[in-house]
Each structure stands twice: as structure tokens, then as C-alpha cells.
Amino acid sequence: MLDVKICGLSTFEAIDAAIARGASHLGFVFFEKSPRHVDLAEMAELVDYVQGRAQTVAVTVDPSDDLLARLAGDVGVDWLQLHGSETERRVAEAKAKTGLKVMKALPIAGIDDLDRIEPYRSVTDAILLDSKRPQGSNLPGGNGLSFDWRLLTALDRDVPFMLSGGLDSDNVEEAVRIARPAGLDISSGVESAPGIKDIGRINRFFDALERARETDVQGEDQS
Ligand SMILES: O=C(O)c1ccccc1NCC(=O)[C@H](O)[C@H](O)COP(=O)(O)O
């Protein structure tokens, strides 16, 4: 069973829709330049609303110690997602300071980028592979762009990762077939406009994922 993280949530309605369809993780973005930004009070309210029905993830970019303390204390999320240029040392420090589970996002554009995964494996609870920030964008994530998933076939199979970047109901089946991720992370692909989650698109994404699972099971039965 794949983990599924729906990222950039800001309404109770979208949280309920994601949970109803089986999302394992819900992401809340703390990054002021993002159309998905929620402040700490809003994030605390959203996390409280989840009431343990899914894992909650605070998405941050090079967070300060003060922000880390507030996310762990006042907001009370389950996970930190580090989506900036955090070194392995800073990731380990963030985990030790907060006691939270940590997911490090790494941008992938070419085969050499896969070498960046190994040093983070011992200091994180999950690795998220995303596309690189395109020129002109001021967002390190949530750009709705995918990378070449075939690069990931070169990865050692015992490296579990979440696949991210430009996923939607039209391409998720192909993405899962090629990349064989442990989990999926999606934001723009379930929106009607940047920052506006669309319940119909959330449902269509999970429908497509169910079809992908059925095809996979049928394929296994025939082999
Ligand atoms: O989504 C944002 O606006 C964002 C801003 C700053 C840092 C990270 C951000 N998103 C991180 C995510 O986990 C997204 O779900 C991931 O990049 C995939 O996004 P998309 O390609 O839009 O599905």
C-alpha cells in the first residue's frame, strides 16, 4: 500500500476529502511566498482538526531554530518536511531539537542528483524526491512540474522514497509503474488554481491510483 501525502492544504473540507480517500499524510506549507502558505495559528487549527486521522506534515524551507520549536510545540505536527538547502547536519539537528519525524526533500533533474540521497538516509525518516525549481519560480516546491521518473530505475531498490513533482490523475499510473515509489506526494495536480484545492481532482487522483493498483495486481497474477 502506497503512502499518499496531499500537500498545501488550507481548508477543513479538503482535509476531510483527502482523509476519506485514504491519504496517509497531510502537508501544510509555511513559506510566505507560497500561495499555499498558512501561518502558525492557522496551521495549529488545521492540525487540531485532523485529530490523528492522518499524519500531519509542516512543510518548511531552511527553518530557524525558533520556527522549529514553535512547529513542535505550539503547532504539534507529526512531521517536518525540509524543502530548502538543509545539510545532513542541519537535518539531524532539526530532528534532535524537535523530536519530530523528518522528511528531507531533494530535487532531481539528472542521474548525478541521485548521489545526494545516500548521505541523508541515516538522518531522516523519509526522503522525498521532487523536481528542481524551474528558472523564474520563487517556490522550491509545488511547481507542478515532473522530472524524468526513468532516472529512478537506477536507484537501489532498498531506498524507499516518496515521489513528488507534477503528479496528477492522468500520469500517476505511469509514475508508479516506472518509479516504484514507497509513497506519493501531490499538490498542484489536485488544485483548480495555485493554493485552491479541488475536491473533484482529489477524488479523481485517488480513483486513478486505485486503477493503477488494480492493473498492478492483475500484472502480478499473470506473471
Ligand atoms: O507547495 C508549495 O507551495 C511549497 C512551497 C515551498 C516549499 C515546498 C512547497 N511544496 C512542497 C511539496 O511537498 C509539494 O507537494 C511538492 O513539491 C509537489 O508539488 P506539485 O508539483 O505541485 O505536486
Class assignment of domain 3-222?
alpha beta
Tell whether the model's pLDDT for residue 198 goes beyond 60: yes
Pocket test of ligand 1: the residue of 187, 196, 198 to mutate, having most ligand atoms within 8 Å of its CB, is 187
Question: pTM for this one?
Answer: 0.95
- The interface predicted TM-score of the complex, written ipTM, equals 0.98
Q: Is the C-beta atom of 124 inside 6 A of ligand 1? A: no
State the helix-helix crossing angle for 199-222 and 12-20, rounded to 10 degrees. Answer: 20
Q: Is the C-beta atom of 83 inside 6 A of ligand 1? A: yes
Beta carbons of 82 and 60 less than 8 angstroms apart:
yes
C-alpha span between 34 and 18 (Å, rounded): 21
pLDDT digits (tens, 9 = 90+) for 44-68: 999 999 999 999 999 999 999 999 9
pLDDT, averaged across the chain: 95
Q: Which pLDDT value is given to residue 222?
A: 63
Tell whether the model's pLDDT for residue 223 goes beyond 80: no
Pocket test of ligand 1: the residue of 5, 28, 29 to mutate, having most ligand atoms within 8 Å of its CB, is 29
Tell whether the model's pLDDT for residue 21 goes beyond 60: yes
- Of 148, 168, 5, the closest CA to residue 83 belongs to 5
Q: Is the C-beta atom of 186 inside 6 A of ligand 1? A: yes
What are the residues whose beta carbons fall under 8 Å from the beta carbon of 49, sequence distance 6 or more? Answer: 12, 15
Beta carbons of 131 and 109 less than 8 angstroms apart:
yes
